[in-house]
Structures are given as C-alpha cells and as structure tokens.
Chains A and B, each alone.
Chain A
Amino acid sequence: MTVKVAKQAKQAADRQVTGEQAAGRPASRGGRRHGSYPYALYAPAAAVYLVIFLVPTVMAFYFSLTRWTLFDSTFVGLDNFRDFLSEQNLRIGFQNTIVYAVVTSGLKVVLGMGLGVLLTGSLRSRGFLRSVVFFPVLVSTVAVGITFSMLLKPDTGLVDRTLGLAGIDGRDWLGDATTALLSVALVDVWKGVGLATVIYIAGIVSIPRSYYEAVMVDGGSAWHRFRHVTLPLSWPATYSVIVLSFIGGLRTFDLIWTMTRGGPGFTSDTIASIIYKQYQAGFYGLSTAGNVLLFIVVTALVVPLTYVLGKRQVVL
C-alpha cells in the first residue's frame, strides 16, 4: 500500500517539478529583456575571448598539421594525426581514460548522494561535517597528489602503516601496475566528492518537505523516502555531477602526472598524459594534433551524454 502512495507522491512531485520549470522560465527572463544593452558593451569581453581563446584554438588546428619545432614549422598534412593514432600506448591510454572517467564519476555520484542525504538529515554537527567534506576541494590538485604520494609509499607511508597495524601487508600502491590507476582514481574521488556532495545537498534541500510528509503519513520507511522521493527528485543534481565529473575524468592530467606520471611503464597513462609527453619531447605539432583529437573525443562523448541526460530530466 505504502509503495503505491509513494508512487503517487512521486507523480505529484513530477508534475510539481515540470510545473515549476515551466513557470520558472518566463519569470527569470522577464527581468532583463533582450537588447537592452548596446552590443558595443560586449566588445571588451569579445576581444579577450578572441585573443586568448579563439585565435589560439584556430592556430592549434593549423599547427596540428605541421611539424613544429618552435623555431620553424613545415606543413605535413595529416601525418601528425596518423602518427598520434599509431602511438603504441594510445590504446592503453584510451582504456585508462575511460575507466578513470567511469570509476571517478560513478563513485562521486554514489558517495556524493550518500553524503548529501546524510548531511541534510538531522545530524548534530552538520555544518562542521559539511565543511570537512568540502575541504579537499579547496586544496590544490598538485598538493593533493604530492601528499598522497607520500601517504601511499610502500612500508613507510601512513596507509601501509595503518594496514600493518591491522595485520595486513600493504603494497606499493603507485609503483605496482595493477593498483596504480585505481589508487589515483580513488584519490581523485576523495578530492572531488565534496563538490558532488554540495551539488546534492542543494538538490535535496530544494525538494519540498511535503513529499516526505506524504510518505511518512502513509507509513513509508526511510528507505521509501529515499527511493521514491530523494532519488528521483535529485535527478538534476545527479545529472550535473555525472557530466562535470565525467568531463573532468576524461581530461584528467594533473593528479595522474603528480602521482604516477603515467607509470609504471605505461600502465596508468591517460590521453592527456600521452599528449603531454609528446610536448615534453619537443614534438609540438604532434602533441597539438593529440589535443585536437582529445577535443573531438570529449565533444563526441559529452554532447550525446548531455543530450540523453537532459532528455531524461524533461521526461521526469
């Protein structure tokens, strides 16, 4: 019985959400009408955008077609793209990038939602805990990478020492081919889950209390409240978290580079670290070609993702 009631509550909620959205749009637009400012006012921003974004982007497309030493460049057509695609470890890099993006965004959704629910509940030191969860987001990624490299050291690192107290023989987390990538992914989750949590808190807080009350009146348990109210109604938050962390995961570089440099060997290389290594080697044209490819790949993955997730939001 209660389940059925909860479903009705959900449907009501659905109507409510779409209703709010429908009502919300004109309201937010009504304030500033189009064309109320002269276009000349856009000029400074447009100039900055043109000079530091559009021009370099177009130049990058050109230089990706050249053999470029910084001193001179020779046009070589699509050679760089062919060479980059035949890069020996590109397949590992692609695999790792996808694995990394899926693992980090998946865990951020699950943990972020869990923490979000926890930190919107009636917890005594809620404010303090919220700050604690958010704190890692504020720390520089490179600093996090260096710190965790120390913590994850074999034998002498804090992690292995703690495991040692429990009688578990720790391992060389970052120096071992089987654990390196996952270790970095988990650190990424530790660092990024705070942001996901904040997004979820915002999403959950905006769910009207009345739905929860409806479930409670019907005798629904905490699980029912979560399953049939919080979960579906925090969909916009889930959507934001997935898109943000998935893109972040695809482009990931700083953490990988500070913790493993793509190693041991090539086992934790991602596309971004492969590109960076070409740049380091002085193959500027080749690495630019790699960046153009990364741009295309990210676009190809994220545009459909946004479309699908966005559609789901409307259906709901």
Chain B
Amino acid sequence: MKTPLRMPRAAVAALTVVALTACGSGSGSSSDGTVTLSFLMGNDQSTVDTTKALANAFTQANPKIKIKPEVIAGGSEGDNIVKTRLSTGDMADVFWYNPGSLLQALNPGQTMVDLTGDPVLKNVKKDYLPVVTQGGKVYGVPAAAAAGGGILYNRKVYERLGLKPPTTWAEFMANNDKVKAAGVTPVITTFKDTWTSQVMVLADYYNVQAAVPTFAQDYTAGKTKFATTPAAVAGFQHLAEIHAKGYMNKGFGSATNEQGLKMLIEGKGAHYAMLSLTLPPQLASYPQAATDVGFFGIPGNDPAKHGATVWEPPALYIAKTTKHLDEAKKFLAFVASPAGTAAVTKAVPPSGPYRVEGATLPANALQVAKDLQAYLDRRATTPALEFLSPVKGPSLEQITVAVGSGLTQPVDGAAQYDKDVAKQAKQLGLPGWG
C-alpha cells in the first residue's frame, strides 16, 4: 500500500470483496431522458456513506440524473482495480480516488477529463488544487473533509490524570510515564494492520519541514535522504523509543486498527498515532468518540514551532471515457459546493475542515475536527509529504513495524526506507534517480 490515506479501507474485508465486485459498470440514458451516471468507490463505510448521501442529495435536486454507485475493494487491491479499469477504458463515469502521490500513477493526462479553468472548480479552495494537479492541469474536486494525522488522545484519561496536551516530545514522553503509572496503556500500537505503524513517521512531517523547509523539493529530486536528515530520522526514533520504554499495549503485533480505536475510545489506552478520519465510523457504536477523543500534532523539540500534519481529502475524478460529461461535471460541481458538504455532514460527521469555500464545520463537530481547525487557524499545518511529492516507498509500513518492534535500529530503518524510495522513483522514471 502506498499511502495511509486509504489505509482504513484496506483494514477490513479487502480479501473477500474483490472477487464479487470487480466487474461490470453500466451507465446509460433511457428513453425518458433520465441519465444514469456510474460512480466507482472503495468499500470502507465512511466512503460508502458519503457517496450515498451525495448521490441522494444530488438526485433530489436533479431528478433527471441518477447515480449508480459501484463499490470495489479498498487499499492497494482497489488501486489495481482502478488502474486496470482506466487502462482498459472500462472505468465508471465518475470515480473516487486519492489525490497526491497515488494520483500521479494513474496517468491522468491520458485517462481523465481536464477540469482546469472549468466552473466545476469555482468553490474548491485554492490550496487544495495542487494535490489534484499533474503537469499544470487540474483533474479532481475534494469529496470529503480533510483529516489530521497525529496523536488521537483520550480526553477523559487526560482529565483524570491532570495532564495537558504536550507541545514537545519530552512532554509527551513525560505524559506517557504518568499514564503508565496509572495502569493505562500509554501508546496504542496495532501492527497487525501494518499501515497504522507508519503514522508516527508520516505525521511527523510538520516537524521535518519546520527544521528543513526545502525537504519536499530536495527529496523529490533525490538530493536529500531520510537517513541523512536528523529531523526525518526522528519519526523512526520515536517508534523505537516507545517500544524500548514498554509503552505499547500487550499483543501489539496482532492488534488491529479497529481494536486500537476501541481501546482509545474506552480509555484503556491514552494515545494512538492515527488519522482523525478513522473516528467517524466508530460513532455508531461509540457516540462518546465525538467528545472524548481529541487530537494534537506529533510534538517536536521546539514548543514555539508546534504544529500538525494534514491529510488532504480524497477527490472525485471524471474518466475520459464517460459518455455523460455534462452530467458528470454537474455532479462534481455539486459535490464541491456548500450544499454538497452539508449533505455529507449529515451522513458522516467530518473529522476535519472541508476544502470548499463557504463550507463550515457544524457546531456539534467532532472534537478532533475542532482541534485540527485550531491548528489551521494558527496556520500551523502542512500537508503530509505524500501530497507534496510523488515519491513514496511502498515498504514503509513493514519498516516501521520492524523499527517499532525493536527488530531494526531507527537509523537502519530510515536507510532501508531510502532504498525503498529509490526503487519506487526508478519505477516511476522520475528525473534525478537514474
């Protein structure tokens, strides 16, 4: 898997669903002038709920256009289905996919409709556009809310132990000490779902760019490495340190993301390095997740430079093979409008702010969304590295598991990741990687 953004989808059921849903996309117009748009998306609950809400609200406003959802597997299974369908010209009219580094691999210039300068983009926030742009052309609109990557923490536990959210790593470790003394797991770790292990490294990117502002460009050009940038190795060291101090839950090697979230919400664990977008699906069983779980960015060394790393929302794209371009554009324009985000909010409480002008967080928004909004208001955020650079090694999650389990030294882990990245850059044929 290449990116943590799609991680929740991979978490469950990827194995079984592929076979059932891999084929067939129907779209067409019937005699009474009704047009049916096919719409392809991944199978995790919040994606399905979001698209259902969008489709219903859109069809209510435009009774002549129906949306037919088609659910495929998530994770890298889903990547391969999307790639295959696009390359064989068999893609649905509209599809849901990641922005950033994963989009680059879809060859958008050949396979998707160019939306540059189109009124579809009228309401999309300007700072979102770079992540759906390739070669100067824009291809997508944001389909959901942004998410924060950092530490989710249990506010009840913090209240009981009289702790306050840390702004430096040292404070964070001091908090962990007190949490452990109180008999609560300090840092929930769930290495069965390997993707969860990389959050500690990827969400540390705010601190990396605070120390080395040109890291993303230099890294893309192959001029700088993780292993030779102390601020970038820090993420790996954090993992090793947490393991060395025994802050992890028992059986962390076999624990899943689902179990980790439960531990966090129930207060059996205090911290969980995670993306805030994993929280809304838990609300059905644990309404207290809305108020009891808070968010802070992974702390660095300088309290004055504390901030958070943001995961940009996934996007909707139009396949070049569509026969209903006007209707598809109409749908995308609706999705990227305040009316669209309002429809989404009703179905899936946002785990962060929207990337649409005029869209606001509801008053009863999740605590994690409010916490993330506070970072945005202070302008103390940066997008994760995968939204700034097409370079992302596929084995990071295995390397972080190895480092976090004490099998590999942090510096060796960073060096292994550099090699992994070089392999990916070569496979992408990026300049400067020979």
Contacts and interface: CB of A to CB of B under 8 A. Distances in A.
Contacts of B79: 280, 282
A90 to B, nearest CB: 12
Nearest to B76: A280
Contacts of B419: 88
A154 B250 contact: yes
B278 interface: no
Contacts of A70: 83-84, 87
Interface in B1-25: 1-2, 15
Nearest to B106: A71
Contacts, number: 109
B295 to A, nearest CB: 27
A302 interface: no
B395 interface: yes
Interface in B379-434: 394-395, 398-399, 401-402, 405, 407-408, 416, 419-420, 423-424, 426-427, 429
Contact of A153 (B87, B251, B394): B251
Given A69-B105, A70-B87, A154-B250, A142 B420 contact: no
B427 A175 contact: no
Contacts of A262: 398
Nearest to A145: B15
A218 interface: no
B111 interface: yes
A265 B399 contact: yes
Given A177-B405, A265-B408, A153 B83 contact: no
Interface of B: 1-2, 15, 76-77, 79-80, 83-84, 86-87, 105, 107, 110-111, 191-192, 194, 250-255, 394-395, 398-399, 401-402, 405, 407-408, 416, 419-420, 423-424, 426-427, 429
Nearest to A87: B423
**Mostly helix, strand, loop or mixed at chain A's interface?**
loop
Contacts of B80: 279-280, 282
B427 A264 contact: no
A172 B254 contact: yes
A71 B408 CA distance: 37
A185 interface: no
Interface string A80-91: 000100011000
Contacts of B399: 265
B2 A281 contact: yes
B105 A263 contact: no
Contacts of A286: 423, 427
A258 B253 CA distance: 15
Contact of A265 (B15, B250, B402, B429): B402
Interface string A49-78: 000000000000000000101111010000
A277 interface: yes
Nearest to A278: B394
B110 A263 contact: no
B405 A281 contact: no
A176 B402 CA distance: 11
Given A71-B110, A265-B398, A282-B2, A174 B15 contact: no
A86 B86 CA distance: 31
Nearest to B427: A283
A239 interface: no
A270 interface: no
A154 B254 contact: yes
Among A71, A74, A175, A281, the most chain B Cβ lie within 10 Å of the Cβ of A281
A176 B423 CA distance: 28
A245 interface: no
19 contacts: A69-B107, A70-B83, A71-B83, A83-B423, A88-B395, A154-B250, A154-B254, A155-B250, A172-B250, A172-B251, A176-B253, A263-B401, A264-B407, A265-B398, A280-B1, A281-B394, A282-B2, A283-B423, A283-B427
Nearest to B16: A142
A175 B251 contact: yes
B293 to A, nearest CB: 24
A10 interface: no
A261 interface: yes
Given A175-B254, A265-B401, A277 B87 contact: no
A10 to B, nearest CB: 50
Contacts of A71: 83, 86-87, 107, 110-111
A174 B253 contact: yes
A67 B407 contact: no
A36 to B, nearest CB: 42
A217 B253 CA distance: 59
Contacts of A285: 427
Nearest to A70: B87
Interface string A230-241: 000000000000
A266 interface: yes
B16 to A, nearest CB: 8
